[in-house]
Amino acid sequence: MTEPPARVLLVDDEPAFQRLGAAWLRGLGHEVVVAGNGDEAAARFAAAAPDVVLLDLAMPPRFDPTAGLELVPRFLPVPVVVLTGHADHTLALRAAELGAWDFLAKPVEPEMLGFVVARAARKARLDRELHELRQGAGPEDLGMAGRAPAMDRLRAMIRRLGPTGVPVVVLGPTGTGKELVARALHACSTRAAGPFVAVHCGALAAELLESELFGHLKGSFTGAHRDQAGLVETAHRGTLFLDEVGEMPPSLQVKLLRFLQDGSFLPVGGRAPKQAEARVVAATHRDLDAMVASGTFREDLFYRLRGVVLRTPALADRREDVPLLAARFLRRASPRAVLSPDALAWLSGRDWPGNVRELRAAVEAAAALADPGAAVVDAALLRFAAGEEDGPGDLAPAPGHAGSLDAAIAELETRMLQDALAATGGNQSEAARRLGVSRVGLAKKLARLGLR
């Protein structure tokens, strides 16, 4: 599925940066609320309930470079990215101690701003989903809804492995909740109070992934305006989740192996090794044994990562959980909507090759198309949302609005496709995986909608 746009609160006293920053983020599909001082920020934070806060540290009335620090705790637990024209490591540490999630120095590169906001929004969304699942299912479910025997066995293994600290590899088809397993392992461990840091190894080019993992020094490459800690360092005394580790380039496999062996790593542009200590949980939908045999994945790294293997079941192997999951996804998308009996029967009878991710995408799309007055999602809507029909037979455009349904559907599809491609840097294979469709199916949709 796609990464949805975020609601961003931009707190900055400079009108020029307000305009440019807001315009850039809106161009990426985000909703932006702007505040020019602390009082405005507090009021708009309460009213807008943002997913991410961008906070300038030099705030009125004093305009010293640390005035915004006192605002950081007021915005938690929402991810707070602090902005400053003073690239000072002391300020960064103070902001982090107060709970800030990341740190950007002005002038901010637009691409870096978009990248950091996307990461922060994804963290907020995953934290929110995990909380909602726990609230709805109960703490005994570890944030993973389902009553199928396969899920019971998986949760039992997580409870057993969580406190041990042993490395874990999570294997399973795409869209089966491998990150939820990693988060549950973290929650059951002695590191639960520490950070949980996730990185998708296939979503970035090798050079960007190295910087993301191990950090970089100022001037080490174009655009490196300040020293930047990597996710390995951020995960110190916590858990580092390497999603789709099978996509990691061979050059980075060597550097990851070194970190796993002795906790040392070298930032991009650095000469002095640094140290960090984190539990590593890796996940992939690929066959690592076959990759080792073919020489595309290092055997020594494979055995370092693979302490214990956990497997997430395909949705087709836990059909009894489909109605529960669909009802929860629908409740989030449209709290008043309900599934009709024929919708429940159709949902339970389908194989869902894209697994939970595909199920969620179909339910959310069907909820967007449902009649707001009736708020009932039936099988025809779901079949259409899943791409199995040209259109729901019982839905005609309202009088005076000919073509409005088609336009709404095209707009929804366009937005989802654009979001997926933006989140994956234009990687169509990865975008197709996230959307729960085939690579060929994605290409056909792009062609039909006139997208490149």
144 shares its domain with 277: yes
Give the C-alpha distances (Å, rounded to integers) separating 448 from 128, 392, 407, 452. Answer: 34, 19, 13, 11
Count CB atoms within 10 A of the CB of residue 272. Answer: 7
Q: So what's the pLDDT on residue 85?
A: 67
Most confident of 187-201, 387-401, 409-423: 187-201
> How many C-beta atoms surround the C-beta of residue 148 within 10 A?
17
Q: What is the mean pLDDT of residues 220-244?
A: 89
Domain match, 13 and 65 both: yes
Position 109 scores a pLDDT of: 84
Based on the structure, what is the number of domains in the chain? 3
Burial class (CB in 10 A: 0-12, 13-18, 19+), 151: buried
Q: Does residue 375 fall inside a structural domain?
A: yes
CB 318 within 8 A of CB 150: yes
Asked if residue 129 belongs to a domain, the reply is: no
When pLDDT is averaged across residues 285-299 and rounded to a whole number, the result is 93
State what percent of residues in the chain have pLDDT above 70: 85
d(CA 112, CA 105): 11
Are residues 156 and 98 located together in one domain of the fold? no
Burial bucket for residue 375 (CB in 10 Å: 0-12, 13-18, 19+): middle
Query: Within this chain, do residues 105 and 154 fall inside the same structural domain, yes or no?
Result: no
In this predicted structure, what is the pLDDT of residue 400?
Answer: 39
User: The domain spanning residue 376 has which CATH number?
Assistant: 1.10.8.60
Give the integer Cα–Cα distance in Å for 102 and 135: 28
Q: Which residues contact 8 (CB under 8 A, 6 or more apart)?
A: 25, 30, 31, 32, 33, 50, 51, 52, 53, 54, 117, 121
Q: Is the dihedral of CA 142, 202, 122, 409 positive or negative?
A: negative
Clarify whether residues 332 and 292 are in a common domain. no
Q: What is the mean pLDDT of residues 375-387?
A: 85
- Give the count of alpha carbons within 13 A of 306, CB side only: 16
Residues 252 and 331 in one domain: no
- Specify the pLDDT at position 220: 85
Residue span of the structural domain in which 345 resides: 318-449
377: tokens are 């999602």
Q: What angle do CA 178, 181, 182 make, to 5 degrees?
A: 90
pTM check: above 0.85? no
Q: Is residue 240 pLDDT above 80, yes or no? A: yes
- In 98-197, alpha helices (H): 110-137, 149-161, 178-187
The domain that contains 201 carries what CATH number? 3.40.50.300
| Tens of pLDDT, residues 66-91 | 667 888 888 888 899 988 765 566 77
356 C-beta neighbours (distance < 10 Å), count: 27
Query: Residue 389 has what pLDDT?
Result: 62
What is the Cα–Cα distance from 303 to 48, expressed in whole angstroms?
Answer: 47
Q: Give CA angle at 371 (369, 377), nearest 5°.
A: 70
